[in-house]
Amino acid sequence: MATGNPLLKIQCTKFSLIRTARIAGEKYTIASLHTDSSCPIQYDRSGEEVNALTMRISFSNLAPGRHRMNPVGKGGSTMNKWTKNAYSVSGIAALTLLAGLLGGCAAKSGTPGGESVQPPATADTVKKAPAIDTSPVTLKLFFTTGFDDKDIQSLIVEPVAKKHPNITVKVVKPGTGTTIQELVAAGDIPDIVFTWNGDLGLFKELGLLEDLTPLAGKIGLDLKKFDPTVLDAIRIVMDNQLSAIPFAVNFNATYYNKDIFDKFGVAYPKDGMFWDELIPLAEKLSRSENGIRYRGLDPENINRMSMPLSLTMLDPKTDKPVVSSDSWRSVFELAKRIWDIPNNKPDKLNGTGRTQFMNDKNVAMLPVQNILNLGLEAAEKNGLNWDMAQYPSYKNKPNVYGHVDTHIFAVTKTSKYKDQAMQLLGVITSDEVQRLSTRTTARLSSLKDMELRKQLGADMAFLKGKHLEAVFKSTPAPAPAFSTLENSARPLLHKGFEAYFNGTDVNTVIRDTEAEMNQLVSASRKKITSGIGR
């Protein structure tokens, strides 16, 4: 063994084992080695040791006799470096070599201290990561919900063009002939789909999803920066595979019309209220006066009300209806109790509350999802005097506003431009774009940085002075796994609730609803029904 080669002492403190090795030959010589904190190592040369922090192995392509190393003192935070022609190898090559040195953090017998001689590195074993093609490409991006044209331009098209000028974005929206099912049938499959986690089961059934973890690693997208509960909501759909990248997180809050409360001398709703506490307020506010019918409370629909309980209508594995559970019965009964308040019944169940709150201004309280960027500014200009409070809780689920509901982008399995599509996702989930989205469109970031999240709507003048802190008083429950037919079954649930509201007993309603859902499942064994969205 050439004695001039540097000695590496690899100490895996996690398992209290030591491994040493010398790198023979002069063409490639290890210059620096770092590892993550899960298995800390020390670099030992001439009695000097430093703790390493990050995973990287760098090499020097040196001519004979150029083995000079810059020394580092004990405890230094920077690594020793060779002075000539340094370059970094790919993460795969680095990890491969590291595995050879560590031997799984286990020393071999037969040599002092577990020392062994490793074969010299060659050009075949040291490879650079393949560069991503920068030729011009057009990515087709399919939207199901949640983005208007202005936001698409400012949050996707412009930042992507700035970072990757070779990428052009073509937006596809669902319509006649352009539903995702029709696009798949025609073989005109988009490169990226935008949806929410509740629709992932359907996209999985269409054969459009795959694990994006390798692609994320290829472009250097750090998955650790995302809220782990949001990643879990995605992974639960496909055997713990990350089939999409989260962009934003939805939330629920109670929006209220201050003028109605003031008119009838009722105190505004407070944070931390339960449904049972909100109902008495609604009873005081639901009345007719001067030809106007004021409604105290509209919870939008029973599906929204079920979310804190993480309920589904169909078993995700068998597609068997599960709406006969006690939890679903309690949601039915609570919703009926609210809409049974005199003068509080809407003209149409399941869907008119938001319009009446913002346009007609005759609904006092609206506990719904994030609508800060969905018409509230225009409503305020038209005279709506509003504020917000924490979403009401169930007593057995305090401070829970729903389950994890995340807006996501998935690179389709069939895309010819997966690398470029993932580059796009890397741009729009960057700190810069996430900050822009949070501050200018009031979307709650999917990143786990709470300081970033608390900048919600900071650049939206009409939100100044609003009680945005209410958003952060609650947290979401874990998201359930969804059947591929969950959204298709939703209209049947709403139909059943309407029958219950109009007088049919709950047992009959649940029996009939489950029967109709079973028919839906049977008919869909051969064909996926439409129903994307909420």
How does pLDDT run across 195-213, given as a tens digit for each residue? 999 999 889 989 999 999 9
pLDDT, residue 131, reads: 83
Please indicate, yes or no, if residue 396 is contained in any of the structural domains.
no
Is there a single domain that holds both residue 272 and residue 230? no
Higher pLDDT, 144 or 126: 144
- The contacts of residue 309 (CB under 8 Å, 6+ apart) are 327, 331, 394, 397, 477
pLDDT, residue 349, reads: 77
Is there a single domain that holds both residue 379 and residue 268? yes
Give the predicted TM-score (pTM) of the model.
Answer: 0.75
d(CA 418, CA 167): 12
Is there a single domain that holds both residue 246 and residue 261? no
In terms of Cα–Cα distance, which of 56, 49, 53, 54 is closest to 75? 49
Q: Which of 83-92, 244-253, 262-271, 431-440 has the lowest mean pLDDT?
A: 83-92
Q: Above 90 in pLDDT, residue 105?
A: no
Per-residue CA distances from 323 to 96, 415, 475, 514, 517 (Å): 51, 38, 25, 7, 10
pLDDT band at 108 (very low <50, low <70, confident <90, very high): very low
In terms of Cα–Cα distance, which of 375, 34, 426, 2 is closest to 192? 426
At 50, list the tokens: 């430093």
pLDDT, residue 149, reads: 92
Q: Above 50 in pLDDT, residue 92?
A: no
Per residue in 446-475, pLDDT (tens digit) is 999 999 999 999 999 999 999 999 999 999
pLDDT, residue 429, reads: 98
How many domains would you assign to the chain? 3
Please indicate, yes or no, if residue 131 is contained in any of the structural domains.
no
Q: Which of 140-149, 350-359, 429-438, 519-528 has the lowest mean pLDDT?
A: 519-528
pLDDT band at 130 (very low <50, low <70, confident <90, very high): low
Is there a single domain that holds both residue 373 and residue 514? yes
Percent of the chain past pLDDT 70, that is, above it, reads 73
β 86-88/56-61 pair status? antiparallel
Please indicate, yes or no, if residue 43 is contained in any of the structural domains.
yes
Residues spanned by the domain of 214: 137-250+405-477
Is there a single domain that holds both residue 73 and residue 194? no
Please indicate, yes or no, if residue 399 is contained in any of the structural domains.
no
Please indicate, yes or no, if residue 337 is contained in any of the structural domains.
yes
Is there a single domain that holds both residue 366 and residue 514? yes
* Domain-ending residue, one of 69, 90, 118: 118
Please indicate, yes or no, if residue 493 is contained in any of the structural domains.
yes
Q: Above 60 in pLDDT, residue 67?
A: no
Q: Above 80 in pLDDT, residue 60?
A: no
Q: Above 50 in pLDDT, residue 292?
A: yes
pLDDT, residue 492, reads: 96
Q: Above 60 in pLDDT, residue 382?
A: yes
Is there a single domain that holds both residue 386 and residue 279? yes
Is there a single domain that holds both residue 360 and residue 452? no
Mean per-residue pLDDT for 325-336? 96
Is there a single domain that holds both residue 459 and residue 490? no
Cβ atoms of 521 and 205 closer than 8 Å: no
Is there a single domain that holds both residue 420 and residue 501? no
Please indicate, yes or no, if residue 223 is contained in any of the structural domains.
yes
Residue 330 burial class via C-beta count within 10 angstroms: exposed 0-12, middle 13-18, buried 19 and up: middle
pLDDT, residue 526, reads: 60
pLDDT, residue 254, reads: 99
Is there a single domain that holds both residue 34 and residue 179? no
- In total, the chain counts a number of residues equal to 534
Per residue in 206-237, pLDDT (tens digit) is 999 999 999 999 999 999 999 999 999 999 99
pLDDT, residue 51, reads: 37
Mean per-residue pLDDT for 417-425? 98
Please indicate, yes or no, if residue 532 is contained in any of the structural domains.
no
Cβ atoms of 368 and 234 closer than 8 Å: no
pLDDT band at 47 (very low <50, low <70, confident <90, very high): very low
Which CATH number does the domain housing residue 459 bear? 3.40.190.10
At 140, list the tokens: 């087709």
Q: Above 50 in pLDDT, residue 41?
A: no
Most confident of 8-12, 252-256, 526-530: 252-256
d(CA 4, CA 226): 46
Is there a single domain that holds both residue 150 and residue 183? yes
Mean per-residue pLDDT for 338-350? 89
Strand partners, 25: none
pLDDT, residue 534, reads: 55
pLDDT band at 7 (very low <50, low <70, confident <90, very high): very low
Q: Above 50 in pLDDT, residue 524?
A: yes
β 17-23/116-118 pair status? parallel
